[in-house]
Amino acid sequence: MSHIMKKLAILVGGGPAPGINSVIGAATIRSILSGADVVGIRDGFKWIMDGNIDHVTPLTIEAVSRIHFRGGSYIGISRANPTKDEQHLENCVISLLRLNVDKLITIGGDDTAFSACKLEERSRGRIRVVHVPKTIDNDLNLPADICTFGYQTARHIGVQIVNNLMVDAQTTSRWYFVITMGRKAGHLALGIGKAAGATLTIIPEEFNGKASFKKIVDTLVGAIIKRLSDGRQDGVAVLAEGLVEGMEPHDLQEMVGVERDAHDNIRIAEINFGEILKIRVQEGLKKYNVKATVVTKNIGYELRCADAIPYDMEYTRDLGYCAAKFLDEGGNAVMVTIQDGRFKPLPFTEILDPVTGKTKLRMVDINSEAYKIARRYMIRLRKDDFDDPHALAKFAAVAGVSIDQFREAFEYLVENEPSPIHLFAR
């Protein structure tokens, strides 16, 4: 009886991110050169969780050698979740075994990492699994100075878009509310806002897990009034979409038709958060007889299938190579990353929350000095504004109210604003 060589399979889950094809290409080339056959499982877990093994693409060096230059996913993608049904999880294992697969590389974010972990457990040693962390949100639990792949490209493209909007805003005397992707964390919004020099940026971490819709609205109203006091009718506010995830239930009730995906995440793209926010901000301004032209812009789909910049191309080729090499050498049940120029495997047991079982997420550290400095130089109301009678008088004049009325309406926004620091030693 002839020996049948085992195969490596590659699967992509979640949403697109620049660099997916670099991982696929490098992992395929490394595995084939070590003597393994490689197949791509099309459309994530979608087909194999139903026991369907027809949607498979053989991967060869010739086919993948140049795909790293392109965005998207060469083998498709989906958000199908096999962990919600024990039979679906079993079907995944059986499907892979029917394909003669004993090694699997999954590429995805926190939900795909969780599915990879559960699939490895279910296989009981028959399939070894390595996960490659992918998300433009940059929120996976990697070492502090390591990005998830795709983030740098998404930020790069996002900054270009916001820069163009800032020029348009100044030219046409209007405000833009830019909603960026970032379901659980504000890394992408903050990265774009800081790099572009946006007028202000608002992220979920500022609200300790519960975003008050009123506070977001008042922050924007206050920023517009402050900007007007300096003679500027324009501005660009960058807001993370994850603000919606953290909203109080009574705030969410106003957003009719909230839908959830297979992983129970709110389909934020289906909620017109920007338009709802625009209406409320304009209502808030109207109370002070202040008018502002506001345009909303969602950016995310423009970012996540962009061609990777060289940083992400190099980074993801390294990740793909290391994932394949780790499996070839007998490794199993880890998420791969690179720290200080060296490959570092993170065991599934370390990246999963022991209470929820879900993948741990990395949030923006709002107590860091870098965050405080970034926030201080954004045009929002600050505590030191309220300590400056001249500044406060200008704001109150624009709003058409007394200083005491303005203070009463907005001072609650800045109670925890950090005090000024000296950037240069004297």
C-alpha–C-alpha distance, residues 109 and 326, integer Å: 20
pLDDT cut 70: percent of the chain above it: 90
More confident residue, 382 or 415: 382
Architecture of 7-149+308-351 per CATH? Answer: 3-Layer(aba) Sandwich (3.40)
Tokens read off for 204: 């979920």
Give the residue numbers annotated as catalytic, written as ranges. Answer: 137
> Tokens 């504000």 correspond to what residue?
186
Alpha helix (H) residue ranges in 124-260: 151-172, 187-196, 213-229, 249-252
3-state helix, strand, coil in the chain (%, to 5): 45, 15, 35
What is the rounded average pLDDT of the residues 151-169?
Answer: 97
Q: Return the CATH fold of 154-304.
A: Rossmann fold (3.40.50)
Looking at residue 45, what is its pLDDT?
97
* Domain assignments of the chain as residue spans, ordered by start: 7-149+308-351, 154-304
What is the rounded average pLDDT of the residues 410-417?
Answer: 78
> pLDDT tens digit string along 362-406?
899 988 888 888 887 889 998 888 999 999 999 999 999 999 999
* Cβ atoms 317, 66 nearer than 8 A: no
> pLDDT tens digit string along 111-133?
899 999 999 999 999 999 999 99
> pLDDT tens digit string along 42-95?
999 999 999 999 999 999 999 999 999 999 999 999 999 999 999 999 999 999
Given a cut of 50, whether residue 20 has pLDDT beyond it is yes
**Mean pLDDT over the full length of the chain:** 90
C-alpha–C-alpha distance, residues 151 and 145, integer Å: 13
* Cβ atoms 158, 188 nearer than 8 A: yes
Looking at residue 416, what is its pLDDT?
56
The DSSP call for residue 134 is B
Residues in the chain: 426
Looking at residue 107, what is its pLDDT?
97
Angle at 45 between CA 40 and CA 46, to 5 degrees: 105
